[in-house]
Amino acid sequence: MKLRHRSKGKSGQALIVTSLIITLLLLSAVYYVIETEKSLVNNQRLIDSNFPVAKLGTRNTMISALANASNHGATAVLTEDLNRFSSILRNMSYGAEFDLSFAPSNSAPYQEGMWISWGKDGSGVSSAYVSFSINTSGPMENYHSEYEMNITTALHVEGVSTGEGEEKTVNFTCAVYDENGPALANEINIFYQNQTDGSWLSVSSSNDLAVLDFGNGTYSISFHAYSQQPVEVSAQIHDMRYIFVMANVTCTQI
């Protein structure tokens, strides 16, 4: 009888232990959900922040490749550099699939994403054009983004010459542009062609070189040259991004 009474008295204890276990289970489940959610939100935020970084990175990569290619480099450097950037970006993707793919333009006048044309008609262009696609499989959301990037430095030159005999005064203007409009030049070098042997002579202060910078990408340049008519002039510039472009022009006498 005593034994029976004791076992009855423990019925409450079993309930207490059961309720505590259930409470602990609930607690651990809620804690797990909170921690998982926190981790997912943090990862997603870091992935989201990768988008502007990726866009600026691709832009800077294209500028670097164009600066390289226009300064006696190979055009293949564009693909090599973009592959390198894409690979590093993928490695720091915070546990998500972050895939940056690209397609250099092969539509005329571009070849392998590059168009370098330094003409004799007073116009010169150094340009790169690439289409990009970003696919992200994040812990909370998936993204797909496509964009195109164009980096261009262009130069337009026109001018005239005056003077008697072989002593000429050459006046011409250089207009520099980038993909957004007028742009500043970092360095301008002028050459004119010696009509006797066809060699190009550098214009320096000994030629009374005068450069007037209008501050809007337009430069008015004059110098003295010893040349027969017409005077062939070559303007070679580096823009502020060290992209090189040149243009030749025939300065007819007026």
Partner 1 sequence: MRLLNDKRGQMRVIEAFFASMLLLSVLTLIPSQNNVKNASDQNLTSTAQHVLLTLDNNGYLSKLIENGSWTQITKCLQAALPPTMWFNLTVLNETNAEMNDIPMSSGNPINEEIFSFDYLCVNQGPSYAIYLIRLQLAVVS
7 forms part of the interface with partner 1 (CB under 8 A): no
Q: Does 163 bind partner 1 (CB under 8 A)?
A: no
The Cα 101–Cα 132 span in angstroms is 6
Q: Which of 15, 74, 210, 211 binds partner 1 (CB under 8 A)?
A: 15
Based on the shown chain and the rule CB under 8 A, indicate whether residue 101 belongs to the binding site for partner 1: no
Q: Answer whether 153's CB lies under 8 Å from 114's CB.
A: no
β-strand partners of 128: 114, 151
Instruction: Name which of 61 and 193 has its Cβ closer to partner 1.
Output: 61
Binding of partner 1 by 20 (CB under 8 A): yes
Residues in the chain: 254
Based on its alpha-carbon atoms, the radius of gyration of the chain, rounded to whole angstroms, reads 34
For the chain, the 3-state helix, strand and coil shares in percent, each to the nearest 5, are: 35, 45, 25
207 binds partner 1 (CB under 8 A): no
Q: Does residue number 139 form part of the binding site for partner 1 (CB under 8 A)?
A: no
> CB 180 → partner 1: shortest distance, Å?
12
Q: Which two tokens stand for residue 120?
A: 């004799």
Cβ nearer to partner 1, comparing 53 with 211: 53
CA distance 249 to 16: 97
Q: Are 175 and 220 in contact (CB under 8 A)?
A: no
If binding is defined by CB under 8 A, does position 63 make contact with partner 1? Answer: yes
Q: List the one residue from 3, 6, 11, 215 that touches partner 1 (CB under 8 A).
A: 11
Find the binding residues for partner 1 in span 70-99 (CB under 8 A). Answer: 71, 73, 77, 81, 84-85, 88-89, 92
Least Å distance, CB 137 to partner 1, is 19
d(CA 131, CA 117): 21
CA pair distance 125, 116, nearest whole angstrom: 6
Q: What are 246's strand-pairing partners?
A: 236
When binding is defined by CB under 8 A, the residue of 25, 38, 111, 141 that contacts partner 1 is: 38
Residue from 118, 143, 177, 242 in contact with partner 1 (CB under 8 A): 242
State yes or no: residue 34 binds partner 1 (CB under 8 A).
yes
Nearer to partner 1, 52 or 198 (CB): 52
- Report d(CA 89, CA 13) in Å as an integer: 58
**Distance from C-alpha of 176 to C-alpha of 127, rounded to nearest angstrom:** 13
Angle at 16 between CA 10 and CA 21, to 5 degrees: 130
> If binding is defined by CB under 8 A, does position 186 make contact with partner 1?
no
Contacting positions for partner 1 (CB under 8 A):
8-9, 11-13, 15-16, 19-20, 22-23, 26-27, 30-31, 34, 38, 41-42, 45-46, 49, 52-54, 56-57, 60-61, 63-65, 67-68, 71, 73, 77, 81, 84-85, 88-89, 92, 241-242
